[in-house]
Structure 1
Amino acid sequence: MLPSGTLTAVMLLTVVVGTTAALLAWRERQEPGAVPLTALLAGQVWWSVFFVFEYRAGTLAGKVFYSDVQWVGVVVIPVAWLLFALEYTGRDHYVRPRYVGLLSVVPVVTVVLAATNGYHDLLYLDTELVTEAGRTVLHRTGGPWYWVITGYTYLLGLLGSIPLLGLVRSDSLPFRGQSLGLLVGTLAPWASNVLFLAGAVPIPSLDPTPVFFAVSGVAYLGAITRFRLLGTSPSANHRARRLVFERMREGAVVVDRHDYVVDMNEQAAEILDVDPRDVLGDPAAEVIPRYEHLPEEGRASRHLTLGEGLQSRQYDATVTAVADFHGRSLGGVISFHDVSDHLRRQQRLEVLNRVLRHNIRTETNLIYGNADLMDAEGAHVEAVKEGAMRIEAISDKARDVIDIFERGRQPGRALTLSTVLDECVEEVREEYPSVAVDLEMAPDGGCGDGSDIAVSPVLTSVVRNVVENAAEHNDDDPWVRVRATCADDTVEIRVADNGPGINDHERTALERGNETPLDHGSGLGLWLIAWGTEMADGDLEIDDREGGGTEVTVRVPRLAAAEE
C-alpha cells in the first residue's frame, strides 16, 4: 500500500482528473451520453473525496460518517454507467424517467440504509477500528443488503458493457478507441473492488477502488480528447438501422431458424393486416400466406397475391437468409415488394393490345368483307357503316383510357361532384335522346347540390362510361337513373338501368384482372370503368338489379378542394 502522504497525493490527482473530465463532459451536455457520463464522473469524485476524509479521520465516528456518505457516489456510478452506455450507443428509448426511476430504487434504498445504519444491521453487521499494515482503518462486515447492492452494481456494470463491446469490432478507429477507453476506465476500479471483496489487497479492510479512479479518469479523458468521445458518437448508427427497417417502403418480416415471427415493420403489418403485438412469436405459416411455398435458404422471390377482387395487391416476396459468423442459419428476412402497379400497367397494355389486334382487326375484316358483297343497289352498306362506327367507338374508348391515365398522373387536381355528374348526364342525353336519364342528388344523402363536394377528375370518364354503357345496350323503353350520396369521407354514385345486364364472361375477365386470347371482354368500356375507379382510390361493384338490368356502384374518397 502507498504511504499515507503519497496516497493522499494520488487521491488529489484522481479528484482533479475526474473533475476535469466531468467538466468537459458537462460542456458537451447536448451530445448523447454526456449527462450520464458527467454523473458517473461526479460519483467517482464524490467517492474519492470522502474516501480521503475517511482515511484521514482519527475517530471511529468520523470514519463511519465519511464511509456512509461515500455511498452516494458509490450507487450513482453503476446507474450512470448503464444510462450512458444506452444513450451513447443509440438505445436511448430506454433512457426514460420511468426506467431511470426503476433503476434508482435499489440505490436510493441503499443511501437510506447507510444513513440509518445505527438502527439496523441490514447494510453492515459490525463496525470497528482495526490496525492493519501499521494503520488504523475502519473494518465493516457487510450485512444482507450490502451483498444486494454489490450484486446490483456488478449487474448494471455488465449490462452497460455489453453494447460497448460491439463497438470494439467497429470499422471506425474513433469508435474502437472510444469503447476501449471507456471499458478500461470502468474495468480498472471494478477489478480492484473484486480484489477487495476477495481479501487480496494489502490492507483487507480498506477498499482501494477510489485509488484506481485515477486510471479511470485518465482513460475517460483520453476517450474525450483523443478519440472525440462526445464529438463523434455512434448513437445514430443503431437508431438509423432501426429507422431504415421501420420506414422502408417494403414490408419486412424477420423469422428465426424455427420459422417463428420475431419482428416486422409497420409496412408488413399493414400488408398482412395484422397487429404486430398479436403475431410476434407465432409460427410464420399462420401469419404469412403460402409461407410454406417460399424458399427456405438463400435469396429468392415468389409472387404473392393478398386481398380479393379489385382491392387485391400483388407482391414479390423475397427471402434473404440470415447467418452468424460461422455460417449457421439464424433465420431470415421476408420482404414484400409491391408490384401491383407494374402488373396492372402490364395488364392494361395487354388489354389495349388485344383491342387493337383483335377487335379492330375483326371490324376491319368485316368492312372489307361487306364491301366485296356490295352490289349496285347498295346492299350491305349499313353493315359497313356499322362496322366503321364500331371502330370509331373503340378509338373513342382508347382515347378515354389514355385520358384517365393522364389525369391519374395529376393527383393534385379535383373537380366538383356537380360538374362531373352534370357533364356526364348531358353528354349521354344528347347522344341517346331516346333514353330517359335521371340524375338525383339524394336529399338525405349529404351532397347538397354537389357544388362543394370535391372528387378526382378521373371520375368524369368513369361515370360517363357507366351511364353510356347503360344507355347504349338497352332498346326496350330504356331508362338510366344516377343517384349520388355523400358521407364525410366518401362519395357514392349508383347507376341503375333496365337493360339486358352484363354477360358473365365480361365479369369473369374483370374479376380475374386480365384477359387471355381465348377469353376476353368485348371492348374497353368495363376496363375503363374499373381502371378509373382504381386510380381514384375507389371501389367498384357491379350487381344485377332486382327486376332486370344492372346496378353499378362507384365509391371514391372526397378530396380537399375542387376546381370549377
Structure 2
Amino acid sequence: MTFIPNAYSIILIICGLITLYMCVRIFRRYEIVVRWFGFMMLGIAIWALSYGLELSSTSLEQMLFWINVEYLGIAFIPAFWLLFLLKFAGKDKWLHPKYFYAFMLLPLITLMMVWTNTYHHLHYKSVSLDNSGPFPLLSLETGPWYIVHTIYFYTLLVWGVILLVNKYRKSDQVFRKQNLTILIAVFIPWVANVMYLFGYRPMGHIDSTPFAFVITMLFLSIGLVRFRLLDIIPIAREKVIEAMNEGLIVTDNQDRIVDLNQEIRKILSIEEKKIIGKRLELILPDQAELYDLIKARKGGQLQLKLVNSELFLEASLTPLFENQHAYSGLIILVRDITERVEIENKVRLQSEQLLGMNKLKDRLFSIIAHDLRGPLINLNDIIKMLNEGMITEEEFKSFVPQLSKNIGYTTGLLENLLFWSKSQLQGEVVKPVYFNLKEISVNILHLFENTIHEKDILIENNIQLSCKVYADKDMIQLVVRNLISNAVKFSKRGGSIKLTSRTEGNYTILCVTDTGVGISETDQKKLFEQETFTTRGTDNEQGTGLGLLLCKDFIEKNGGSIWVESEIGKGSKFCVRIPNSNW
C-alpha cells in the first residue's frame, strides 16, 4: 500500500490514536456503564484512523479497503451510543440480550452491505476517484441502504438524546452539569453530519463528521479521566444511596444542601420538593451542638433531639477536604434511634426501680430481723418469766399496757408487710367497688381508741355521711389506717386530728390534718420515695417507713394521687384524691 500523508489525514490519525489510548484507559479503569462509552470511543477511533489512512491513500482499491475497515466503527457507533445512555439513564430492561441482539442486527447487515457493495451497489451506487484537489479523494453516490443506515443512525441518536434530556430535567442540581456537558457535546458531530448530508461541505469530498466525533469524544474522555465526569453516575447514586437504611445529607462548603436521599426525607418528614440549594438549618433547626461541630470542620457522632418532635436521631459527620486543606463540604449520615432511646430509657427506669426495690428489700429484712422480732421476743420472755414464777401476776399486769402497745405495733407492721408483699406480686389486680368512706374511717378510729384516749387527742370526723368512692376497698382501708396512725403517732398530748372530705368532679378529696410536730421540707421530699425512712412518735412510738410508700402505691393504682402540706411545729395535712365514679 502507498500512502501520501496530508494535513487532514495526519490530524485524523493522531486524534484516532489519542482516542484509542483514552479508550484503553477507560476499559482498564471503569465499570460497565462507562465501558459502553468506551466501545463507542473504540468505534470512533477505528473510523478516524481508517479515514485518515483512506485520505492518505492514492488508489481506488486502497481507499475502498479502508472504507470497509471504517464501517467496523461507523456501523456500530449508534448502537453503542444508545446502550451507553440506556445504562446511564437506568433503563436496564432495554439491556436484555434480546434487545441487545436487535440493536446489533442492523449494524451487522450494514457492515455486510458495505463489504459486498461491489455485487449489488445498494449502499453506494457508484464509487470513483476524484483527482481535482490537492490529493485524491473518493467521490461517492449513496444508495438505498445508505439511507436505511442513516435513518437507523439518527433514530438511535435521537432516542439517546431524549433519554439524556429527560435525565437532565429530572436530575438534582449536583448532576445537571455532567448531563448538560454530555448533551452539548452530542450536538457537535450532529451538526457536522447534517451539514455533510445536505451538501454543505467546506472541505469538498472530505466528510467532517469523524473530525467532529473525534473532538467530541476527546472532550468527553478527558473530562471523564481527568475531571472524573462520570465517576458519580446518577443511576449508581439512585440505586445505592436510595437503598440505604440511613438518611443521607450532602452539603457544600457554605452548608447548603446539594444532595439527600429518600430515607432522610422520610425521617424528617420533608415534603418540600425543591430542597437542593437550601440551608441545612431549614431541615435541622435549633441544633447548636451539630452546628458547632460543622463550624469547627470536624467529624464525629452525636445525638440529636428534634424540636417539637419525639424523634431522637444519631448523626455521623464526615467533612470533605480537597488537598487536605480546602473544605469542600460535608456528608451527614442520620439514623432514627427513637426506639433505641426509648428502650434505653425503659431499661434505665427499670434499673432504678430494681435498685429501689433492692433497698426496700434490705429495709424489709431489717424490719423483720429487728422491729418484728424484738416485740415477739419480749412477749415470749415475759410469759416465760410468769410461767416460771419469776414475776407475780400483779407485776405481769403492770407490763400489759406496754405489751399491748407492742402487739398493736406488731399487728400494724405485719399488716403493712403483708399488703406490701401482695402489691409486689405479678398479676396483682385492683378490684374497685363502691363503698362508704365515712364507715371505714369510723372503724379505723375505733382501732386507735386507746392511744387517742391516752394522748388526750381531740378527733373531728367531718367526712360526709354519704361520701362514697369507687376503688379497691382493702387498699383504701390500708391507706386511711396509715394516715390516721401517723396523725395519732405524731400528735402531741392534747392535740387534735381532723378528717374532712370534699368532691371535685369525678374525685373525692380526703384529708387527715393533725396539730403535731410537722415535717421538714427536706423530709417531705423523701416521704413517698423508695428509699424509706422512719422517725419515732411523740410518745416514742415506732414506725417502719413502709406506710406512706404503700399509700402512694395503692392510691396511684386506683387512679388517684397523694400529697402533703406541713410546717414544723404546727402540724401536717395529708390528702388523697380517690375516684368516686366508674368513668
Pairwise TM-score range, normalised by the shorter structure: 0.3 to 0.5
TM-score normalised by structure 2 residue count = 0.42
Question: Which is higher, the Rg of structure 1 or of structure 2?
Answer: 2
TM-score normalised by structure 1 residue count = 0.44
